[in-house]
Structure 1
């Protein structure tokens, strides 16, 4: 029973610290594998901002054990209005897990208009399909 309490307490603290950490950063991402219903740790993700016809790389990261990058926008920078692209390197992740996939990467292009203080980009992933939406 003590082990269960310790595990639950650790999970709660981890979730709270992630939420607090993300509160100061305007962008987070999350990847869930729909095939097994579990988070997808170890997914490489890139963030870019559109400048005219070009894209400028702002950040890269790897999802944690919860499948999240809780603070993905560059530190000490203010999120500017504009068009952004988050690219999930899904092909590498599936290859690492010895599974075929149709999608080598999933780019998600979105507009930040400043109407909300935090943007969350979740990716629901399976080998032959994906879904995303504006989370909170």
Structure 2
């Protein structure tokens, strides 16, 4: 049904779907997200295993392991209910296994990305732009 309004302004706003709201909420509550994009094809890299590690006095301690979703993302990689403390962490993208399943050779069997966490920073996002013989990463938002 269409209603005509006179003498009043009509305000339109976008309302997120439940899944968008859930993704947004989980991203903002969890301090770490990642995204893998296949730059050779311009598509998301779903099915990439990603490991999160924290540097300790005795080496690297594994905190979590997850796999990228259909959009090439892991919106909440840090363990649920835990607080991310200041220190050095790294995400390790298991690209060799992923490329093997794609039937493609790669020069990089895994890509470790170390990063520094500071107190008071609410969220870190680590994107990986990936091709068989090159990659790039940066601090996202």
Measured against the shorter chain, the TM-score band is: 0.7 to 0.9
Q: 1:41 maps to what in 2?
A: 46
Q: Does 1:112 align with 2:106?
A: no
Kindly indicate which of the two structures has a greater share of residues assigned to helix.
1
Matches within 5 A, 1:1-136: 13=17, 14-136=19-141
Any stretches of 5+ residues in structure 2 without a counterpart?
A: 1-15
Aligned length: 125
Once the two structures are TM-superposed, the CA of residue 114 in structure 1 deviates from its matched residue by 2.5
**Structure with max Cα Rg:** 2
Distance in 2, matches of 1:120 and 1:114, equals 16
Q: Deviations over 1:60-79 (max 9, x none)?
A: 00000010110000010111
Once the two structures are TM-superposed, the CA of residue 115 in structure 1 deviates from its matched residue by 4.6
Any stretches of 5+ residues in structure 1 without a counterpart?
A: 1-11
Distance in 1, matches of 2:49 and 2:90, equals 14
Superposition TM-score, scaled by structure 2 size:
0.84
Once the two structures are TM-superposed, the CA of residue 117 in structure 1 deviates from its matched residue by 0.5
Farther-moved stretch of structure 1 (76-85 vs 47-56)? 47-56
State the Cα RMSD in Å.
1.3
Superposition TM-score, scaled by structure 1 size:
0.87
Distance in 2, matches of 1:76 and 1:16, equals 19
Relative distance call for 1:16 and 1:35 in structure 2 (3 A) is farther
Relative distance call for 1:15 and 1:125 in structure 2 (3 A) is farther
